[in-house]
Amino acid sequence: PVNKPLGGKLAIVTAGPTIEHIDPVRYISNHSSGKMGIAIAEALADAGANVQLVLGPTPQQTSHPDITTTRIQTAQEMFEAVTTRFSQADIVVAAAAVADYRPANIADKKIKKGEAQLHIDLEKTPDILRSLGDTKAPQQLLVGFSLETNNEKEYALKKLREKHLDMIVMNSLADAGAGFNYDTNKITLFDKNGREQSFPLKSKQAVAQDIVSAIIELQHA
């Protein structure tokens, strides 16, 4: 039906931050609230999709009847939650701010304060989106985000290409009212066919609509 263009589709959306434990009381994380990803999950569900939302630690949530939320904490847990569901998915949107590094060892007791500097060795986390891009079937539609503070377009196009995405959503911390935690965002979409669309600052709900419209158009392209 016209008003449910994604009826029968399964979508996976990642949202929010991940936290990477240092010891039982400390962690490394980032400022993501999950608002952008939750708005996308809701817009996809409103368009008829069945949505699996994989959500990091945040007080934000959704009660949309067509969204099933799986709560995770770490990048590794997000990786597992997404990859176990991936073969069924028609659409994946990765709006989460996944930690790129985690402590190489997690202390099982609280690290005591001493006189010297403390050094924590960090190792890379799995790149969820890259591994989906490496294994995706041709009809699966993969949408990533790119968040930067500088060289935004260059880095966004590099991620689109190297992670084998169908589309990337660029947002920048250099734009007022865009990025983490705001109720607004300002995006530019780049798709694999070379199309580029820039939008003004809008509510995250309206931004999510623009992204879902672009996804629907790409499915028919």
Of the candidates 3, 30, 50, 105, the residue annotated as catalytic is 30
State the binding string over 138-167 for ligand PMT (x if CB under 6 A, else -): ------xxxx-----------x--------
Q: Report the candidate in 64, 71, 120, 121 with the shortest Cα–Cα distance to residue 96.
A: 71
Burial of 19 (0-12, 13-18, 19+ CB in 10 A): buried
Residue 30 a catalytic site member: yes
The annotation status of 215 as a binding-site residue, yes or no, is no
Does 136 help bind ligand PMT (rule: CB under 6 A)? no
Out of 88, 149, 151, 181, point to the residue binding ligand PMT (CB under 6 A).
181
- Count residues contacting ligand PMT (CB under 6 A)? 27
* Residue closer to ligand PMT, measured from CB, 72 or 96: 96
Token pair of 87, please?
A: 């073969």
Does 199 help bind ligand PMT (rule: CB under 6 A)? no
Does 133 help bind ligand PMT (rule: CB under 6 A)? no
Cα 63 from chain centroid (whole Å): 19
Does 43 help bind ligand PMT (rule: CB under 6 A)? no
* Residue closer to ligand PMT, measured from CB, 136 or 159: 159
Helix 35-46, helix 204-220: angle, nearest 10: 50
Bridge-based pairing of strands 91-94 and 141-148 is: parallel
Does 172 help bind ligand PMT (rule: CB under 6 A)? no
Out of 127, 175, 210, 217, point to the residue binding ligand PMT (CB under 6 A).
127
Does 75 help bind ligand PMT (rule: CB under 6 A)? yes
Binding residues for CTP: 100, 110, 126-129, 145, 159, 163
Catalytic residues: 30
Q: Which residues bind ligand PMT (CB under 6 A)?
A: 14, 16, 32-36, 75, 94-98, 100, 125, 127-129, 144-147, 159, 171, 179-181
